[in-house]
Structure 1
Amino acid sequence: MTGGAAETVERLLGVGVHRVSGRSPARVELDDGRTVVAKNGAADPGSVPAEAAGLRWLAVPDGPPVPDVLADHDEWLVTTLVPSGSPSSDAAADLGRRLAALHANGADAFGSAPPGGPELAWIGRARMRNVPTDRTWAEWYATDRIEPYVRAAGGQLDTAVFDDVMNRLPELAGPDEPPARLHGDLWSGNVLWSPDGAWLVDPAAHGGHRETDLAMLDLFGLPHLATVLAAYDETAPLADGWRTRVPLHQLFPLLVHTVLFGGGYAGQADAAARAALRT
């Protein structure tokens, strides 16, 4: 389907458009009084079905609220708008409990995509392969979430350190856990604070280890993070040593950022790998 946000939303929703603000994502005010968000994924083929499937999969009872998918067609995704608000301690505690509920809904396997989601998905502007496995999390994390991005980063990284991490992952990973239902790209920019609490947007959803979502929250900072983590741990206690495994779980997003942006992210990824080996 071709056309801009206004024309596309009118076609997909069958409602006239009053005003469009921004480009992509665009804020679209409808003639019936609603305001929706329209995102164009033409630059990232497959991103629209991946995101739509992820949002639907993450919409679980008692989990964090996510925008409703109103339409997804070809390169356009239309969702409900999250009202703007401010972070608070109460909302953070609620987010921690709801994240525990989301993760507890589980996934078919490590690496599994949401139902209807493509095998070749995206995390930000980087490709991410979602293929279910019967291997352990440590084996899958090494081959599907560390090794491909170390290769893609080329000479920016100390590859010997990452080889050590991958070889030692079974002993570094902590106790075995079942696959959790992950948001997958849970940095602070994908947590929107509204008057009724924290919402999650822009997922890279897949089956993984629940500590990965929590480690990503810590990577770029989140208001009231300690409150989020305490409420999570009270609701669904984390395995002993989870705090020391944070750098291990941060390797994936840091490697993605190294591939996309280079620069200081390579140094951060190297430092995280060395920290993971010290656990």
Structure 2
Amino acid sequence: MLRRARRLRHRVRDGASGVPRTPHGIRARLRVASPNPVPEAVLREVVETLGWPPDARIEAERLGGGCIHPAVALHHTDRPHTDRPGDPPARAFLKWDDSPQPEGASFGHEARGLEVLAERGGPIIPEVLGSSDGTHGSPGWLLLEFLAPRPPSCKDHVDLGHALARLHRPLEPEVLSGLDTAEGWIATLPQDNRPRSSWGTFWQEARLAPQIRRAAPLLSAGGIEALDTVAERTPDLLDPVVESAGGEGLSLLHGDLWSGNMLYSTRGPALVDPAVYRGHREVDLAMMELFGGFSAEVIAAYEDHAPLRPGYRELRRPLYQLYPLLVHVNLFGTGYVARTESTARRVLAALG
């Protein structure tokens, strides 16, 4: 299904840590003359979506950093940049499928997640210019505004922490965990977003249990036992912090907040590639601290606006980090098993 955004302007993402490589001049009717080129069918659809003429002169700069989809920055070199409302942009970010995707996976999920984050407010979110889930043999693609990356300043780290705190402000008390659309994705793995009776039950049933089952052939018997024990105790550990009277409540989460999904741009800190759902704000923070890449000033600035409750660092942070670690086991294999199992044992040790 081809999907166009209602309006076009100018901003968005690069592959976060990626640096543009040598541009390749092309005609819109032709492929990009580089390794892993933009498929001709995708290029035709994208040019039409952008409102560029079919014979537009286009540069396509390969962007690094993405481990799932190839990506380029497209530049209509014949068109001067303008900020006038309604004018087609001179640049845009494009990524597309270069291999068969799991049934049900689509760029539409990611596009909707970006729009939900933008509506909530906080960090800069790229505007969706169009997307396609792939039709008639054409690969799926996602087209976003382009944001020029730049090295961060000290102020950028502080701004990111404050913006995340705004994103994580509590939702209405009656809101349930998960998302209104039950089906979601984390990279290429299905992610169950069906609401549950409590946040702790959601983390147990919709996050830990499915990934433990999927990873079981790669885990040791002791590791499975430790993970199962943690999962069983999760509601009792999390519900008092989130669900009880005086609890923090739920927030809108990015859902996959590692450093590669954050971009310091010329307009400020931006988030990309979300796996959005409603949950406990500490999930995003735990993910940020799992693999590094974020300055300590970011968390400090976040806590200036939204202090973390006792028990986060010694107990809930490793508990929330189990989910992305299990996802990495299921995506990339045994290299993440030892850290996953030791993290589960660390949670149990913190419980005494």
1:28 aligns to 2:74 (yes or no): yes
Residue 101 of structure 1: aligned partner: 166
Residue 10 of structure 1: aligned partner: 47
4+ runs of 1 displaced by more than 3 Å? 1-5, 105-108
Matches within 5 A, 1:1-279: 3-16=40-53, 17=56, 18-22=58-62, 24-30=70-76, 31-33=78-80, 34-41=90-97, 43-44=101-102, 45-60=104-119, 62-74=121-133, 75-104=140-169, 106=171, 108-113=175-180, 118-133=181-196, 135-157=197-219, 158-173=223-238, 175-176=241-242, 177-224=248-295, 226-244=296-314, 245-279=316-350
The verdict on how the C-alpha distance between 1:196 and 1:52 changes in structure 2, with shifts beyond 3 A counting, is: same
Equivalent residue of 1:185, what SS? coil
The verdict on how the C-alpha distance between 1:214 and 1:169 changes in structure 2, with shifts beyond 3 A counting, is: same
- State how far apart, in whole Å, the 1-side matches of 2:194 and 2:154 are: 37
The verdict on how the C-alpha distance between 1:88 and 1:263 changes in structure 2, with shifts beyond 3 A counting, is: farther
Structure with a larger share of its residues in helix: 1
- The farther-off stretch of 49-58 and 263-272 is 263-272
User: What do residues 83-103 of structure 1 show as CA deviations (whole Å, max 9, x unaligned)?
Assistant: 111123211111111111111
Equivalent residue of 1:28, what SS? strand
- State how far apart, in whole Å, the 1-side matches of 2:146 and 2:347 are: 39
- State how far apart, in whole Å, the 2-side matches of 1:87 and 1:278 are: 38
- The farther-off stretch of 53-62 and 161-170 is 53-62
Equivalent residue of 2:330, what SS? helix
- State how far apart, in whole Å, the 2-side matches of 1:277 and 1:255 are: 17
Residue 84 of structure 2: aligned partner: none
Aligned-pair CA distance for 1:105: 5.8
2:280 partner amino acid: H
2:313 partner amino acid: R
Aligned-pair CA distance for 1:53: 0.5
- State how far apart, in whole Å, the 2-side matches of 1:171 and 1:86 are: 43
The verdict on how the C-alpha distance between 1:105 and 1:53 changes in structure 2, with shifts beyond 3 A counting, is: farther
Aligned-pair CA distance for 1:175: 1.1
- State how far apart, in whole Å, the 2-side matches of 1:92 and 1:198 are: 8
Q: Percent identity?
A: 37
- State how far apart, in whole Å, the 1-side matches of 2:73 and 2:42 are: 9
- State how far apart, in whole Å, the 2-side matches of 1:106 and 1:7 are: 41
Over aligned residues, Cα RMSD in angstroms? 2.0
Structure 2, unaligned runs of 5 or more: 3-38, 63-68, 81-89, 134-139, 243-247
Q: Is the 8 A contact 2:132 2:142 kept in 1?
A: yes
User: What do residues 237-273 of structure 1 show as CA deviations (whole Å, max 9, x unaligned)?
Assistant: 2222211221111011001000011122111111111
Count of paired positions? 273
Q: Is the 8 A contact 1:161 1:270 kept in 2?
A: yes
Aligned-pair CA distance for 1:189: 0.6
Relative contact order (alpha carbons < 8 A, sep ≥ 6): 1 or 2 greater? 1
1:128 partner amino acid: Q
- The farther-off stretch of 151-160 and 254-263 is 151-160
1:92 partner amino acid: H
Query: Rg larger in 1 or in 2?
Result: 2
1:268 partner amino acid: R
Q: Is the 8 A contact 1:6 1:20 kept in 2?
A: no
1:166 partner amino acid: A
Equivalent residue of 2:241, what SS? coil
Aligned-pair CA distance for 1:3: 4.3
Q: Is the 8 A contact 1:5 1:38 kept in 2?
A: no
- State how far apart, in whole Å, the 2-side matches of 1:60 and 1:186 are: 18
